[in-house]
Structure 1
Amino acid sequence: MMAGLTINSQQTMPSGYKIPVLGYGVYQTPADIASEVVEHALKVGYRHVDSAVAYRNEQPSAEGMKKSGIPREELFFTTKIPPKDMSYENSKQHIENTLKITGFDYVDLYLLHSPYGGKENRIGAWKALVEGVQAGKIRSIGVSNYGVHHLDELEAWIKETEAKEGKGKGGVLSVNQVELHPWLARPDIVDWCKQRGVLCEAYSPIVRATKNDDPLLKPLAKKYNKTPSQILLRWSIQMGFIPLPKSVTKSRIEENAQVYDFELIAEEMKSLDTGVYEPCAWDPTVSHD
Structure 2
Amino acid sequence: MPPVPSIKLADGQHIPQFGLGVFQTPADQTAEIVGDAFRLGYRHIDTAAIYKNEAGVGAAVAASGLARDELYITTKLWNAEQGYDSGLRALDTSLATLGLDTIDLYLIHWPCPANGKFVDSWKALIQAQKDGKVKSIGVSNFRVEDLDRIAQATGVVPVINQIELHPYLQQGALRAYHDQHGIVTESWSPLARGNELLSHATLQAIAAAHGKTAAQVILRWHLQLGLVVFPKSATPSRIKENIEIFDFVLSDDDMRAIAALDTGTRIGPDPATMN
What TM-score do you get using the length of structure 1 for normalisation?
0.91
Map of 1:241 onto structure 2: 227
Task: For residue 18 of structure 2, give the secondary structure of its aligned residue in structure 1.
Answer: coil
Q: Distance in 1 between matches of 2:225 and 2:115?
A: 31
Residue correspondences, number: 273
Q: Distance in 2 between matches of 1:227 and 1:90?
A: 44
The answer as to whether partners of 1:115 and 1:287 remain within 8 angstroms in 2 is no
Q: Deviations over 1:155-202 (max 9, x none)?
A: 21133xxxxxxxxxxx44110000111110011110111112211110
Map of 2:56 onto structure 1: 60
Task: Give the counterpart letter for 1:180 in structure 2.
Answer: L
Map of 1:181 onto structure 2: 166
Is 1:264 the counterpart of 2:264 in the alignment?
A: no
Task: For residue 186 of structure 2, give the secondary structure of its aligned residue in structure 1.
Answer: strand
Q: Distance in 2 between matches of 1:71 and 1:255?
A: 25
The answer as to whether partners of 1:109 and 1:142 remain within 8 angstroms in 2 is yes
Q: How far 1:206 moved relative to its partner?
A: 1.2
Task: For residue 42 of structure 1, give the secondary structure of its aligned residue in structure 2.
Answer: helix
Q: Distance in 2 between matches of 1:30 and 1:22?
A: 21
Task: Give the counterpart letter for 2:123 in structure 1.
Answer: K
Q: Give matches, 1:90-105, under 5 Å.
A: 90-105=86-101
Q: Deviations over 1:2-34 (max 9, x none)?
A: xxx944210011111110010110001110000
Task: Give the counterpart letter for 1:271 in structure 2.
Answer: A
The answer as to whether partners of 2:161 and 2:184 remain within 8 angstroms in 1 is yes
Q: Distance in 2 between matches of 1:240 and 1:134?
A: 28
Q: How far 1:89 moved relative to its partner?
A: 1.9
Map of 1:168 onto structure 2: none
Task: Give the counterpart letter for 1:84 in structure 2.
Answer: A
Q: How far 1:288 moved relative to its partner?
A: 8.9
Map of 1:132 onto structure 2: 128
Q: Distance in 1 between matches of 2:23 and 2:262?
A: 27
The answer as to whether partners of 1:86 and 1:116 remain within 8 angstroms in 2 is no
Q: Distance in 2 between matches of 1:6 and 1:189?
A: 31
What TM-score do you get using the length of structure 2 for normalisation?
0.95
Task: For residue 207 of structure 1, give the secondary structure of its aligned residue in structure 2.
Answer: coil
Is 1:194 the counterpart of 2:179 in the alignment?
A: yes
Structure 2 unpaired stretches of 5+:
none
Q: How far 1:85 moved relative to its partner?
A: 2.3
The counterpart of 1:144, out of the listed 140, 144, 152, is: 140
Task: For residue 262 of structure 1, give the secondary structure of its aligned residue in structure 2.
Answer: coil
Q: How far 1:259 moved relative to its partner?
A: 0.3
Percent identical pairs in the alignment equals: 35
Structure 1 unpaired stretches of 5+:
160-170
Q: How far 1:153 moved relative to its partner?
A: 1.2
Task: Give the counterpart letter for 1:13 in structure 2.
Answer: L
- Report the aligned-residue RMSD: 1.6
The answer as to whether partners of 2:110 and 2:274 remain within 8 angstroms in 1 is no
Q: Distance in 2 between matches of 1:37 and 1:147?
A: 33
Map of 2:29 onto structure 1: 33
Map of 1:232 onto structure 2: 218
The answer as to whether partners of 1:7 and 1:46 remain within 8 angstroms in 2 is no
Q: Distance in 2 between matches of 1:208 and 1:275?
A: 15
Q: Distance in 2 between matches of 1:230 and 1:153?
A: 37
Q: Which consecutive segments of 4 or more residues in structure 1 shift more than 2 A? A: 5-8, 117-120, 286-289
Q: Distance in 2 between matches of 1:6 and 1:12?
A: 19
Task: For residue 117 of structure 2, give the secondary structure of its aligned residue in structure 1.
Answer: helix
Q: Distance in 2 between matches of 1:208 and 1:120?
A: 30
Map of 1:156 onto structure 2: 152
Map of 2:267 onto structure 1: 280
The counterpart of 1:216, out of the listed 189, 196, 202, is: 202
Map of 1:206 onto structure 2: 191
Q: Distance in 2 between matches of 1:209 and 1:105?
A: 36
Q: How far 1:84 moved relative to its partner?
A: 2.6
Q: Distance in 2 between matches of 1:249 and 1:287?
A: 32
Q: How far 1:275 moved relative to its partner?
A: 3.3
Task: Give the counterpart letter for 1:122 in structure 2.
Answer: F
